[in-house]
């Protein structure tokens, strides 16, 4: 389900219950399209996320951690100037559209109270966040500035008058009666007639049309029904249980917790991409060159297969030297190994002896090239595997682990170290800790340098090591010499989750004692070889990861 007007309605109710009357204690803009307001309400700090992301635009309370950029953006500086310590007067929705308005009151330097409205427009790629001076209706600032030539309908620059998006001539479903749903012939008719109803909502209403108004009223209860996470061929999120069109519900305590879980991977990957765009581009360029090099090296290696023929030609020309006439362009000779005739090309400008030596020279050149080609193939293939493992890790690590991957690439010489940006350094710990249900500690490496340290230095020889089979992923150390079967299964599920196979089923995971693992000299970070392993098939389990994570 998309964040439609119906979901927006339920979310506004939730936000009013939790944040109205609170005070804005902190304002951050961790990413280009996202704003975090820390609101002190009911004696606790809560993070309000306002997102104008083209794919994930939404408004919610979030418990996900965010790091503040070293240099604040222009928009966040404007917000800090006007609404730091502002009181949240309330949230409201524009009709049943995906526009959320937050009314704020704040004192200026002289102690005078001024009124502002913080508006989030959820409109796909046109999503935006505005700070409006309520007294004159002008835009103080906005998260996405748009020049007049790119938008003729309304001004989208500071000091422009704020103008609402074009109004839809549709009925607000919360102002409707059951009779308004009579004679509708499809879910599409519902969307055409009523404002803010998305595809999934209209499908559910149409499946139970005689109770349409009852369904709509359930969104407007003081406490929304338990949120649900539905799997019906695809993942979705719904503020109420859709009995007619969905199944496999997983309950959450509130809508914000639901969205945190739904967007966990989507938003995480997107934020990592924003932080590492230049790095991944550089690695992808190197990877492309390496793959092209491997192709050429394999072609060169295949060409060496002809060297034995050159050696034979040199041998035959030497044996039958007396039969060769100077100036000949070719000669037919009998291969005495199989009694077959072979035609050998000759250089007419060379003597018979020089022609023989020429073939021996070609033979030796190709023979001598084989060790070099194989060496280069091994080096380049190892680099490809390494770079693919780094790029894959960006798909499954958490946002706070990106710094470790960047440090790894600096140490490996793939990127240059940048000047310090003043951001506080996180305390360095190797790996992330988990505890199995039966009390055995596990540690998961979050980059290849951590993988090396965990496996080759910190783990004891009798501990167990786990890794997805033949797929990039984290090293997992199970700190026990004789773990029970349940712990091995749980550790394998952790290994599968922290790998490129996170979204797959029946993932093969190898496990073996650390004593059977070694690292070849000169191998890239994270690369090890092992023997005597066993393999288990498991399904990655996000809920288990959360359950077993320490703290």
- One digit per residue, the tens of pLDDT, for the chain of length 551 reads 678 999 999 999 999 999 999 999 999 998 889 999 999 998 999 999 999 998 889 999 999 888 778 789 999 999 999 999 999 999 999 999 999 999 999 988 888 999 999 999 999 999 999 999 999 999 999 999 998 887 777 889 999 999 998 888 899 999 999 999 998 999 999 999 999 999 999 999 999 999 999 999 988 875 555 666 665 556 678 888 888 888 777 778 889 988 988 887 677 777 777 778 888 888 999 999 999 999 999 999 998 989 999 999 999 999 999 889 889 999 999 999 999 999 999 999 999 999 999 999 999 999 999 999 999 999 999 999 899 888 888 877 777 788 888 888 888 888 887 655 544 455 467 888 999 999 999 999 989 989 999 999 999 999 999 999 999 999 999 999 999 999 999 999 999 999 988 878 899 999 999 999 999 988 888 999 999 999 999 998 878 888 888 54
**Contact status, residue 101 vs residue 94, Cβ threshold 8 Å:** yes
**pTM score:** 0.65
**Contact status, residue 10 vs residue 50, Cβ threshold 8 Å:** no
The four Cα atoms 43, 36, 550, 230 give a dihedral, to 10 degrees, of 100
Residue 415 burial class via C-beta count within 10 angstroms: exposed 0-12, middle 13-18, buried 19 and up: middle
Residue 282 burial class via C-beta count within 10 angstroms: exposed 0-12, middle 13-18, buried 19 and up: middle
Q: pLDDT value at position 465?
A: 96
The structure tokens 């960047």 sit at: 406
Question: Nearest to residue 468, comparing CAs of 448, 441, 493, 439?
Answer: 493
Q: How is residue 127 written in tokens?
A: 């999503």
Question: Nearest to residue 90, comparing CAs of 12, 35, 8?
Answer: 12
At residue 60, the 3 state secondary structure works out as: strand
Q: Are strands 441-444 and 476-478 parallel, antiparallel or unpaired?
A: antiparallel
The strand ranges marked E within 63-159 are 87-93, 99-107, 113-121, 128-133, 138-142
Give strand pairing partners of 296. Answer: none
Residues 6+ apart with CB under 8 A from 428: none
Q: How is residue 84 written in tokens?
A: 């730091």
Q: pLDDT value at position 229?
A: 64
Question: Nearest to residue 158, comparing CAs of 189, 188, 136, 185?
Answer: 136
Q: pLDDT value at position 551?
A: 44
Q: pLDDT value at position 355?
A: 93
**Contact status, residue 208 vs residue 186, Cβ threshold 8 Å:** no
What is the distance between the alpha carbons of residues 13 and 90, in angstroms, rounded to a whole number? 10
Portion of the chain with pLDDT greater than 90, in percent: 64
- Please list the alpha-helical segments (H only) found in 51-93: 74-83
Q: pLDDT value at position 291?
A: 94
């Amino acid at each position: 389900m998309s964040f439609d007007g119906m979901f927006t309605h339920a979310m506004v109710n939730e936000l009013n219950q939790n944040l109205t009357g609170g005070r804005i204690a902190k304002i951050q803009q961790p990413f280009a399209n996202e704003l975090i307001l820390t609101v002190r309400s009911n004696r606790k700090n809560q993070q309000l996320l306002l997102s104008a992301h083209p794919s994930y635009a939404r408004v919610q309370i979030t418990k996900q951690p965010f790091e503040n950029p070293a240099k604040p953006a222009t928009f966040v500086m404007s917000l800090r100037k006007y609404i730091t310590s502002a009181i949240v007067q309330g949230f409201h929705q524009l009709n049943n559209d995906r526009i959320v308005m937050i009314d704020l009151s704040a004192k200026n330097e002289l102690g005078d109270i001024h009124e502002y409205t913080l508006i989030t427009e959820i409109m796909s790629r046109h999503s935006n966040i505005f700070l409006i001076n309520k007294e004159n209706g002008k835009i103080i600032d906005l998260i996405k500035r748009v020049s007049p030539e790119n938008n003729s309908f309304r001004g989208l620059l500071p000091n422009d008058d704020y103008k609402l998006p074009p109004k839809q001539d549709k009925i607000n479903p919360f102002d409707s009666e059951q009779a308004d749903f009579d004679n509708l012939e499809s879910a599409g008719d519902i969307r055409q007639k009523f404002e803010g109803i998305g595809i999934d909502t209209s499908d559910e209403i149409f499946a139970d049309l005689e109770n349409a108004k009852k369904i709509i009223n359930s969104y407007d209860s003081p406490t929304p029904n338990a949120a649900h996470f539905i799997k019906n061929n695809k993942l979705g999120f719904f503020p109420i249980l859709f009995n007619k069109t969905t199944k496999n519900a997983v309950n959450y305590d509130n809508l914000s917790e639901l969205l945190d879980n739904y967007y966990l991977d989507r938003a995480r990957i997107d934020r990592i991409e924003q932080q590492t765009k230049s790095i991944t581009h550089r690695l992808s360029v190197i990877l492309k060159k390496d793959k092209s090099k491997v192709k050429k090296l394999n072609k060169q290696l295949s060409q060496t297969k002809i060297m034995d023929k050159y050696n034979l030609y040199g041998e035959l020309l030497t044996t039958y030297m007396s039969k060769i006439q100077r100036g000949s362009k070719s000669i037919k000779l009998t291969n005495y190994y199989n009694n077959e005739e072979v035609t050998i090309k000759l250089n007419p400008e060379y003597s018979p002896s020089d022609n023989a030596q020429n073939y021996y020279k070609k033979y030796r050149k190709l023979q001598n090239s084989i060790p070099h080609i194989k060496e280069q193939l091994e080096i380049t293939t190892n680099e490809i595997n390494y770079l693919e493992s780094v790029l894959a890790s960006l798909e499954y690590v958490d946002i706070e682990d990106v710094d470790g991957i960047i440090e790894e690439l600096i140490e490996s010489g793939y990127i240059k170290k940048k000047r310090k940006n003043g951001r506080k350094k996180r305390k360095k710990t190797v790996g992330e800790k988990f505890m199995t249900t039966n009390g055995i500690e596990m540690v998961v490496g979050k980059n290849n340098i951590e993988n090396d340290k965990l496996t080759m230095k910190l783990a004891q020889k009798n501990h167990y090591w786990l890794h997805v089979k033949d797929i990039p992923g984290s090293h997992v150390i199970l700190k026990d010499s004789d773990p029970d079967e349940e712990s091995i299964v749980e550790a394998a599920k952790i290994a599968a989750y922290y790998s490129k196979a996170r979204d797959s089923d029946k993932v093969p995971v190898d496990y073996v004692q650390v004593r059977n693992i070694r690292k070849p000299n000169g191998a890239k970070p994270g690369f090890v070889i092992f023997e005597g392993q066993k393999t288990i098939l498991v399904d990655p389990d996000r809920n288990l990861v959360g359950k077993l994570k320490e703290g």
